[in-house]
Amino acid sequence: MSRIFSGIQPSGELHIGNYLGAVKNWVELQRSYESFFCVVDYHAITVPYDPDDLRTRRREMLVSLLASGLDPSVATIFVQSMVPEHTELAWIFNTVTPLGELERQTQFKDKASRQESIPAGLLNYPVLQAADILLYRADLVPVGEDQVQHLELSREIARRWNARFGEGFFAEPQAKLTPSRRIMGLDGNAKMSKSMGNTVGLLEEPASIWAKLRPAVTDPARVRKTDPGTPEVCNVYHLHRAFSPPDVVKHVETQCRTAGWGCIDCKKVLFENVNAELTPIRARAAEVRARPELVDEVAGDGAATAQRVAGATMREVKERMGLA
Ligand code: SF4
- What is the full per-residue pLDDT of the chain (324 aa) written as tens digits? 899 999 999 988 899 988 998 999 999 999 999 999 999 999 999 888 999 999 999 999 999 999 999 999 999 999 999 999 999 999 999 999 999 999 888 888 888 888 788 889 999 999 999 999 999 999 999 987 777 888 999 999 999 999 999 889 999 999 998 775 667 888 876 778 777 778 899 999 999 999 999 999 999 999 999 999 999 999 999 999 999 999 999 999 999 999 999 999 999 999 999 999 999 999 999 999 999 999 999 999 999 999 999 999 999 999 999 999
Ligand 1 centre from 253 Cα, in Å?
Answer: 8
The whole-angstrom separation of Cα 19 and Cα 170 is: 30
Nearest CA to ligand 1 atom 5: 219
Helix H or strand E encompassing 4: strand 3-8
Three-state SS for 143?
A: strand
Among 129, 144, 131, 126, which residue's Cα sits nearest to residue 26? Answer: 144
For residue 245, how far is the Cα from the chain centroid? Answer: 24
pLDDT of residue 183: 77
Amino acid at 101: E
The pTM (predicted TM-score) of the whole model is: 0.92
pLDDT of residue 182: 66
Three-state SS for 321?
A: helix
Ligand 1 centre from 237 Cα, in Å?
Answer: 6
CB contact at 8 A, 74 and 35: yes
pLDDT of residue 51: 97
Angle between helices 51-68 and 263-290 (to 10 degrees): 110
Which numbered atom of ligand 1 lies nearest the CA of 266? 2
Nearest CA to ligand 1 atom 4: 256
Which numbered atom of ligand 1 lies nearest the CA of 216? 7
Ligand 1 centre from 258 Cα, in Å?
Answer: 11
Among 39, 21, 20, which residue's Cα sits nearest to residue 80? Answer: 39
pLDDT of residue 8: 95
132: left (phi over 0), alpha (psi -120 to 50) or beta: alpha
Start-to-end CA span in the chain (Å): 30
322: left (phi over 0), alpha (psi -120 to 50) or beta: left
Ligand 1 centre from 277 Cα, in Å?
Answer: 20
Q: Could you tell me if the CB of 270 is within 6 A of ligand 1?
A: no
Q: Could you tell me if the CB of 64 is within 6 A of ligand 1?
A: no
